[in-house]
Amino acid sequence: MAKKANKKTAIVGLGYVGLPVALLAAEKGWQVVGVDNVAAKVSAINAGRAPMKDRALSAALKKYPISATTDYAAAADAAVIVICVPTPVTADNAPDLEPLNSAIRGLRPHLRPGQVLIVESTINPGVMDEAVVPLLKERRDLPLDSDGADKNVLYIAHCPERINPGDRRWTVRNIPRVIGATTNKGVRLAKAFYDSILEAPVKVMASINEAEAVKILENTFRDINIAYVNEMAKSFDKLGIDIEHVIAGAATKPFAFLPHYPGNGVGGHCISVDPYYMIERGRQAGFDHAFLKLARRINDSMPEYTVGVMDAAAAALKLSASTPVALLGLSYKKNTDDLRESPAVEIKKLLGKKKMPLRVFDPFSPAQSNVASLKEALAGGVIVMLGTNHDELVSALTPAALVKAGVKLVIDGKNALDAEGIAKLGISYYGIGRRRLPVANK
């Protein structure tokens, strides 16, 4: 009688990445146990509540309840263990593998030959071989596939996460993946897991290093392209050319052009972080990633550039230094409550150093706001500083609403507002790489 396949999987790290994987695995028939080191998250999930504001996740959790625990021992009888913990940077932008290392150390006593251990966290080429495997080797009685054997060993694989928070079109279910593993058996086991839960192709890379490099390449690609348009925006500000129009023009080219858009900076736990992992690994290997570092410098300069645009515009309009500024939106990305590495949070810090009264309103972050409504933020004739293009902010900030509130100047950090309409009603509009001045101010 064939042994019944072990369909238990342990998902370690139940955040934006791990929870969607856990719920999809549960939907596809896996017996799922979630492991997380935050007890509050564990109890929320056991009570059927998603620990983050995400309607789709909350609905999935209701439909496919999973059990969660802080105890790594729960992974002992799992066939597949998936690690989805953060890989942030330290305050001086050095890679911080502590969350990954502590997950490995927590799991280590419970790992057994025959299991496949898959890391989804974003890491640079070399981390699996140089950080994860040595940590696992500290358990001398656990044979690893990296020792060359291909049976009765712990199999090790990497499948970089590709979750896009807030995206309804591309989800954990339909985004293609790449995987890399140490041995062919490891590839087979990891691929079998993803083939059983995804409705998307899984590409097998020639090595773990290549799989690590794929995610770094795709995210540094995005960072440098955003930096490129941010630099062009600064240049076009000098020339009075509207970069949004120019990008739209360039995008009529049906090949070899991929539009990215300027803004007040690059935030989030992926694009603004991942390049530093490659920069550091390159440095260790004796290679200087001058281009990646330049892109980081350009993108990190955008919050200060945006405040500079406001200062120059306010001076040109001879607005009094006591004109209040309403910073609208703090999240790094629209329609999320995620503040990690957010440029708008950096702008809040810069504005906080000035004399003018500062009002902060983000509907997704009431705790970080100092007024309770948009109406309160705009009262009395303010300078609007759009920090995040949340749909509900953009739709409320119509030209008519701005005039009605007596707004004196609009700084649009995400080029998301109706520039023409705002200027037509007599309010000066400055975006990033675009501006519209009322006829009177021309």
Residue 244 is a binding residue for ligand SAJ (CB under 6 A): no
266 contacts ligand SAJ (rule: CB under 6 A):
yes
Contact segment (CB under 6 A) with ligand SAJ among 94-102, 132-140, 265-273, 405-413 equals 265-273
Instruction: Identify which of residues 218 and 376 has a Cβ nearer to ligand SAJ in the complex.
Output: 218
Regarding 261 and contact with ligand SAJ (CB under 6 A), the answer is yes
| Minimum CB distance to ligand SAJ, residue 307 (Å) | 16
173 in contact with ligand SAJ (CB under 6 A): no
Q: Which is nearer to ligand SAJ, 72 or 430 (CB)?
A: 430
CB of 332 to ligand SAJ, least distance (A): 4
Calpha distance 11→172 (Å, rounded): 14
Q: Label residues 141-150 b or e (16+ Cβ within 10 Å = b).
A: ebebbbeeee
- Shortest gap between Cβ of 211 and ligand SAJ (angstroms)? 14
Nearer to ligand SAJ, 148 or 170 (CB): 170
Our answer to whether residue 270 is catalytic in this structure is yes
Asked if residues 204 and 189 have their Cβ atoms less than 8 Å apart, the reply is no
Backbone angles phi, psi at 190, to 5 degrees: -65, -40
**DSSP code of 144?**
B
- The DSSP output letter for 146 is G
User: Among residue numbers 325 through 344, which ones bind ligand SAJ (CB under 6 A)?
Assistant: 332-333
Burial (CB < 10 A; 0-12, 13-18, 19+), residue 117, is buried
- d(CA 119, CA 132) in angstroms, rounded, equals 9
Residue 169: count of CB within 10 angstroms of its CB: 7
Is residue 164 involved in binding ligand SAJ (CB under 6 A)? yes
- 79 alpha-carbon distance from chain centroid: 29
160 with 175: CB under 8 angstroms? no
C-beta closer to ligand SAJ: residue 222 or 408: 222
Q: Does 275 bind ligand SAJ (CB under 6 A)?
A: no
CA angle 18/24/26 to nearest 5° reads 100
Closer to ligand SAJ at the Cβ: 187 or 344? Answer: 344
Closest CA to 269 of 161, 168, 170, 364: 161
Q: How far is the CB of 230 from ligand SAJ (least distance, A)?
A: 7
Residue from 10, 80, 172, 271 binding ligand SAJ (CB under 6 A): 271
- Contact between 61 and ligand SAJ (CB under 6 A)? no
Asked if 234 interacts with ligand SAJ (CB under 6 A), we say no
Stretch that binds ligand SAJ, among 19-27, 188-196, 267-275, 352-360 (CB under 6 A): 267-275
Q: Whose Cβ is closer to ligand SAJ: residue 268's or residue 399's?
A: 268
Q: How many residues belong to the site for ligand SAJ (CB under 6 A)?
A: 19
CA neighbor of 234 nearest in space, from 304, 316, 330? 304
Interface with ligand SAJ (CB under 6 A), residue from 51, 125, 165, 329 = 165
List, as one string, the DSSP characters of 29-98. Answer: T-EEEEE-S-HHHHHHHHTT--SSS-HHHHHHHHHS--EEES-GGGGTT-SEEEE-----B-TTS-B--H
Binding range to ligand SAJ, per CB under 6 A, among 97-105, 193-201, 262-270, 314-322: 262-270
Paired strand residues for 83: 12, 119
Q: Minimal distance in Å, beta carbon 355 to ligand SAJ?
A: 28
Looking at the Cβ atoms of 236 and 332, the one nearer to ligand SAJ is 332
Per rule CB under 6 A, is residue 124 in the interface with ligand SAJ?
no
Site residues for ligand SAJ, window 174-233 (CB under 6 A)? 218-219, 222, 226
The residue of the chain with the least Cβ separation from ligand SAJ equals 268
* CA distance linking residue 303 with residue 326, whole number of Å: 15
Nearest distance, CB of residue 218 and ligand SAJ, angstroms: 6
Widest Cα–Cα separation across the chain: 87
| CA separation, residue 160 to residues 212, 268, 365 (Å) | 7, 17, 29
Q: Compare residues 165 and 363 and give the one whose CB is closer to ligand SAJ.
A: 165
- Considering 187, 270, 319, 427, which one is annotated as catalytic? 270
In the complex, the residues that contact ligand SAJ under the rule CB under 6 A are: 161-165, 218-219, 222, 226, 260-261, 263, 266-268, 270-271, 332-333
Q: Residues with catalytic annotation?
A: 270
